[in-house]
Amino acid sequence: MPIANFNIQTLKLIVEAARKHQLDGGAFSVTTGMLFSGDNFEGGEPLDEDGNTEINSKLEYFWPSEVHMIKEKKIPVLMLVGDQGVYIMSNINHKPKETSSKIEDVICYAEKCNPEHDEDFDENKRRLFGGSDGVVTIPLEWAEEAIQKGKRKLKIKLTKNTVSLVE
């Protein structure tokens, strides 16, 4: 099973920036998983922009809206991304025209998956993440736990259908 290894010191910067942003009352981008989880909406069902459930929606294709999400459910998470390499970033949401600090824009590449440093990054990306591009949400707590335990790397096992933390 492919295992992606991420430098814990770089992840620590990402986690610290996300937690600081949260304490400062900053916004976070919602993920598809957040949008489709009924637990994140009053009444237990995802709602579209007009406040309709999927059954009551008049839209041809139902898509939930973050407008009706419970504010406290818009939380910081890590996003495992596979496109030009494989990397982790936070879901910090910057306001339009807001200049973010460099620390908030930090990404952490998996070992051997950085297009700026690794000649075989694309082959390694395909081996770890597959041929298609995509994003998988992982809990911020995975990185926090690894940091607390003094680990040097965060190890994530990727299979066709699952993403799991390697202890």
Task: Write down which residue in 72, 98, 131 finishes a domain.
Answer: 72
How large a percentage of the chain has pLDDT more than 70? 92
Based on the fold, state whether residues 50 and 122 are members of the same structural domain. no
Single out the residue of 74, 92, 88 nearest to residue 135, CA to CA. Answer: 88
- In 55-166, at which residue ranges do the beta strands (DSSP E only) sit? 78-83, 85-90, 92-93, 108-109, 134-138, 153-158, 163-166
Based on the fold, state whether residues 8 and 79 are members of the same structural domain. yes
Q: Is 13 left (phi over 0), alpha (psi -120 to 50) or beta?
A: alpha
Based on the fold, state whether residues 87 and 141 are members of the same structural domain. yes
CA–CA distances in Å: residue 46 to residues 39, 59, 64, 66, 139:
8, 14, 6, 9, 21
pLDDT, one tens digit per residue, over 71-88 is 999 999 999 999 999 999
Record the pTM: 0.88
Query: What pLDDT sits at residue 167?
Result: 83
Please, what is the average pLDDT of the chain? 91
Based on the fold, state whether residues 161 and 107 are members of the same structural domain. yes
pLDDT, one tens digit per residue, over 100-157 is 555 556 899 999 999 999 999 999 999 999 988 999 999 999 999 999 999 999 999 9
How large a percentage of the chain has pLDDT more than 90? 83
| pLDDT band at residue 1 using 50, 70 and 90 as cut-offs | low
Query: What pLDDT sits at residue 147?
Result: 97
Query: What pLDDT sits at residue 58?
Result: 85
Domain span holding position 106: 3-28+75-166
Kindly report the CA angle at 116 between 14 and 5, in degrees rounded to 5? 50
Residue 95 has pLDDT above 80, yes or no: no
111 HSE (CA, 13 A, CB side): 12
Query: What pLDDT sits at residue 104?
Result: 55
The arrangement of strands across the sheet holding 163-166 comes to 3-7, 153-158, 163-166
Beta bridge partners of 79: 89, 137
Based on the fold, state whether residues 103 and 50 are members of the same structural domain. no
CA–CA distances in Å: residue 37 to residues 45, 46, 53, 59:
7, 7, 12, 19
